[in-house]
Amino acid sequence: MKDIFRFTYKAKFENPSLIVGWDKDAGRLSPKVIEYLNKKLNAGSFCDIEPVDFFSLAGVAVERDTAQFPECKFYYCERNDLVIFKANEPEFERYRFLDAVSDLAQHHFGVKHLYTIGGTISSTTHSNTRKILAVYNKKELQQELNGYGMEDMTWQGTPAISSYLLWVAERKGIPGVSLWTQIPFYLAACEDFQAIRATLSFLDNRFSLELDLKELDEQEQSQNIKIDRLRQEDSEINRCIGALENGQSLNQEEQLNLIKAVSEFLESGKS
């Protein structure tokens, strides 16, 4: 197991919590939350996972004009006793990957709790407050986090990697919670600043991080102004969002048009 990890620094922890985010996510929630945390907490990387067993390394993908390479890194924040893990989802050997991460968390870091971060696509609108839905692997942690304003989730379906990690952690006796923050479906391909802020706000409260979230407040406000402008310019988009705000549903064509219009408008940088 050890040979898949490459340590670059000997970080010290007491009884840390592990926060896990994946590189791809709805509303870019997971990577943005982790990047924000790392930046604001001055978290430094100290360990990474060798990609060869878990990713196809037949060349590199190019995204946003840049060559990409799978990255699975652990960051440390000794001051707040946090370990932060940001990773591309493994393509192969997912159980071995998650088992190794959990083993390292338990035996090397002595992790107390696991938190996974993710966005869940929802029919809510950008003008609504984002809810965080929670899934726990231990009842005790569910009781401990009662009062943080999260809603318990009930669901059945194909598991995402965070659910898989939560299951692996449970088998090892690591209490954990998956946080699923609502993302309006038409913001899934963009950055959902309100959802990012809501998730960071929870982590801020939970770990007393004293994060400065002003930057995100401004980005959220700016995004809402842009969407309002789109609504003024395009009556059909205004009708669709209005319908969602009134609890009505859209047909598939309307949904796709809304996603396309909002994504293009926000990416075009109009304001």
| Shortest Cβ 134–other proteins spacing (Å) | 6
Structure tokens at 108: 């090397």
Task: Please say which residue, 9 or 95, places its beta carbon nearer to other proteins.
Answer: 95
Pairing of strands 72-77, 44-49: antiparallel
CB distance 144 to 134 below 8 Å: no
| Shortest Cβ 162–other proteins spacing (Å) | 8
| Shortest Cβ 215–other proteins spacing (Å) | 29
Q: Of all helices (H) and strands (E), which one includes residue 137? A: none
Which residue of 7, 9, 69, 95 would you call a contact of other proteins, by CB under 8 A?
95
Structure tokens at 85: 């893990």
Which residue of 1, 57, 60, 153 would you call a contact of other proteins, by CB under 8 A?
153
Examine residue 134 and tell whether it contacts other proteins (CB under 8 A). yes
Q: In degrees, to the nearest 5, what angle opens at C-alpha 102 toward C-alphas 97 and 105?
A: 125
* Number of Cβ atoms within 10 Å of the Cβ of 162: 26
Residues 231 and 241: their CA atoms lie apart, in Å, by 8
CB distance 263 to 185 below 8 Å: no
CB distance 182 to 195 below 8 Å: yes
| Shortest Cβ 254–other proteins spacing (Å) | 16
Which residue of 40, 96, 108, 172 would you call a contact of other proteins, by CB under 8 A?
96
Sites for other proteins among residues 163-192 (CB under 8 A)? 163-164, 166-167, 170, 178, 180
Q: Which of 57, 172, 54, 56 has the alpha carbon at shortest distance from 113?
A: 172
Residues 12 and 110: their CA atoms lie apart, in Å, by 10
Sites for other proteins among residues 15-74 (CB under 8 A)? 56
Candidates 31-39, 45-53, 65-73, 134-142 — which segment interacts with other proteins by CB under 8 A? 134-142
Task: Please say which residue, 134 or 240, places its beta carbon nearer to other proteins.
Answer: 134
Candidates 86-94, 197-205, 240-248, 262-270 — which segment interacts with other proteins by CB under 8 A? 86-94
Helix/strand/coil for 113: strand
Q: Which of 202, 81, 195 has the alpha carbon at shortest distance from 147?
A: 202
How many residues bind to other proteins according to rule CB under 8 A?
33
Task: Please say which residue, 159 or 242, places its beta carbon nearer to other proteins.
Answer: 159
* Number of Cβ atoms within 10 Å of the Cβ of 222: 12
Residues 230 and 17: their CA atoms lie apart, in Å, by 42
Task: Please say which residue, 132 or 244, places its beta carbon nearer to other proteins.
Answer: 132
Candidates 4-12, 133-141, 219-227, 253-261 — which segment interacts with other proteins by CB under 8 A? 133-141
Sites for other proteins among residues 195-224 (CB under 8 A)? none
Which residue of 137, 182, 194, 199 would you call a contact of other proteins, by CB under 8 A?
137
Binding stretches for other proteins (CB under 8 A): 56, 91-92, 94-96, 118, 120-121, 134-137, 139, 142, 151-160, 162-164, 166-167, 170, 178, 180
